């Protein structure tokens, strides 16, 4: 079991730091799948160091003969599950806790020759995959559920023999289902048209997928609720992965809770494909300005009263924990919408937030499809313990509270490896004191 980590910040709460972030996990995972589908004509630059990405790299290498320069896993985390083991006549691929890899590989493996058993952690077996699997089956994929209907592990036999070139899929569950289908569409014999039913959650991530496909020559048509991609080849290209805006969000949170802050994040730009770049707009409400210059973004804190009380996070749900914790710590009774997907993430993030915020006297009250903070009982204890529920974003969203609480102990230090392996080291660069706890 991973050790815990104890955070403290002594002296004046002034943050002055330059932090180089790893590549975006969202962009990198899409780039890797596109590269594998292109059979090597597309390469990837600035790979993410996230454990989830390393798991996807291993899995793709076990299935296709991708260039070593793209998916060389010789330096991969030794603690990641093995992929490519053969059990009877089926190749076992264990993606551990990597939810994006589970969705993308479900589609990717369905068009590969061979038989595959796709599985993950116990929590992964509780996260639904049925909507994507049934959509793939509707166009000819051979997929079956090995334990519970609609959930991993999956038995996948390919290649898919396409029987239909259009399919309906719900848009309000996970945009990753849609992205998974869009990426394999140009490799299908008949192409594919997706009809999205209902509201589209996390639309920027679908836009990201389509923009990256366009960078390698794959065109699409999007009319009303239908996205069509014809069968077509991938052009030779290199996909550059921008630094991770999700990781940047924690530095915005630190700036918001500090007395003074001047933070430089190199490599980020104001025209990002990543939906979580919306953090610049959201944190402007808390007096955090974003100035793009010198090849990155400068964060600076200015005194500003919060006037905005409602935040719609439908297009950036991965920012929810970060923003909710900041509002709670500052005593703002804000309301949040667009959190429908939080209950099927690495943990039930709504319940996890409610449980941990109660430790500082704050309530997160659910009413219909909105959530309201009640900060009337807010207090900061001398020492506090945060449970992470095996969720990397719980650890990183609550870490900035060390600017308010003298000793903040966070469970499972290594949980951050999933997306931001150097998080604790970067906090030290910014003046936080870090020590391991048994």
- Catalytic annotation, residues: 318
Helix (H, G, I), strand (E, B) or coil at 84: strand
What length is written for the chain?
438
Indicate the helix (H) or strand (E) that contains 15: strand 14-18
List of E strands, 304-399: 310-312, 335-337, 363-367, 370-374, 383-386
Other beta carbons within 10 angstroms of residue 303's beta carbon come to: 7
Give all strands of the β-sheet with 14-18 in edge-to-edge order. 14-18, 260-266, 296-301, 288-293
Beta carbons of 320 and 366 less than 8 angstroms apart: no
Residue 210 CA, chain-centre distance (Å), reads 17
Closest listed residue to residue 311, CA positions, set 301, 324, 300, 299: 324
Euclidean distance between CA atoms 356 and 192, whole angstroms = 44
Cα 34 to Cα 105, 211, 248, 277, 336, distances in angstroms: 12, 12, 25, 23, 34
Euclidean distance between CA atoms 157 and 174, whole angstroms = 24
């Amino acid at each position: 079991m991973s050790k815990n980590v104890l955070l403290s910040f002594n002296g004046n709460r002034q943050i002055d730091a330059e932090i180089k972030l790893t590549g975006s996990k969202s962009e990198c995972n899409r780039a890797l799948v596109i590269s594998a589908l292109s059979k090597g004509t597309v390469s990837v630059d600035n790979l993410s160091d996230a454990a989830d990405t390393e798991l996807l790299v291993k899995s793709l290498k076990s299935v296709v003969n991708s260039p070593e320069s793209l998916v060389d896993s010789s330096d991969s985390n030794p603690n990641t599950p093995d992929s490519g083991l053969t059990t009877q006549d089926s190749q076992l691929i264990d993606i551990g806790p990597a939810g994006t890899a589970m969705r993308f590989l479900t589609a990717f493996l369905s068009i590969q020759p061979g038989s595959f058993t796709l599985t993950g952690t116990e929590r992964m077996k509780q996260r639904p995959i049925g909507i994507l699997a049934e959509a793939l089956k509707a166009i000819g994929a051979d997929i079956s559920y090995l334990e519970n209907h609609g959930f991993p592990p999956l038995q996948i036999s390919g290649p898919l023999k396409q029987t239909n070139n259009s399919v309906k899929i719900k848009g309000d569950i996970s945009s990753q289902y849609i992205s998974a289908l869009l990426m394999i569409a140009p490799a299908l014999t008949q192409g594919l048209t997706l009809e999205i039913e209902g509201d589209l959650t996390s639309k920027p991530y679908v836009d990201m997928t389509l923009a990256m496909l366009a960078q390698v020559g794959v065109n699409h048509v999007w009319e009303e609720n239908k996205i069509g991609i014809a069968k077509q080849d991938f052009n030779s290209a290199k996909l550059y992965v921008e630094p991770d805006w999700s990781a940047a969000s924690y530095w915005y949170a630190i700036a918001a809770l500090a007395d003074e802050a001047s933070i430089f994040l190199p490599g980020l730009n104001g025209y990002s494909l990543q939906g979580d770049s919306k953090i610049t707009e959201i944190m402007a409400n808390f007096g955090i300005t974003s100035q793009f210059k010198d090849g990155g973004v400068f964060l600076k804190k200015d005194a500003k009263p919060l006037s905005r009380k409602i935040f719609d996070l439908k297009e950036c749900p991965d920012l929810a924990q970060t923003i909710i914790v900041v509002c709670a710590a500052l005593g703002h009774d804000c309301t949040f919408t667009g959190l429908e997907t939080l209950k099927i993430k690495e943990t039930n993030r709504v319940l996890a937030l409610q449980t941990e915020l109660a430790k500082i006297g704050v309530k997160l009250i659910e009413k219909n499809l909105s959530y309201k903070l009640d900060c009337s009982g807010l207090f900061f204890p001398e020492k506090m313990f945060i449970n992470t529920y095996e969720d990397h974003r719980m650890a990183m969203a609550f870490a900035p509270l060390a600017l308010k609480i003298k000793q903040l102990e966070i469970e499972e230090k290594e949980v951050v490896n999933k997306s931001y392996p150097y998080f604790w080291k970067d906090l030290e660069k910014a003046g936080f004191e870090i020590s391991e706890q048994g």
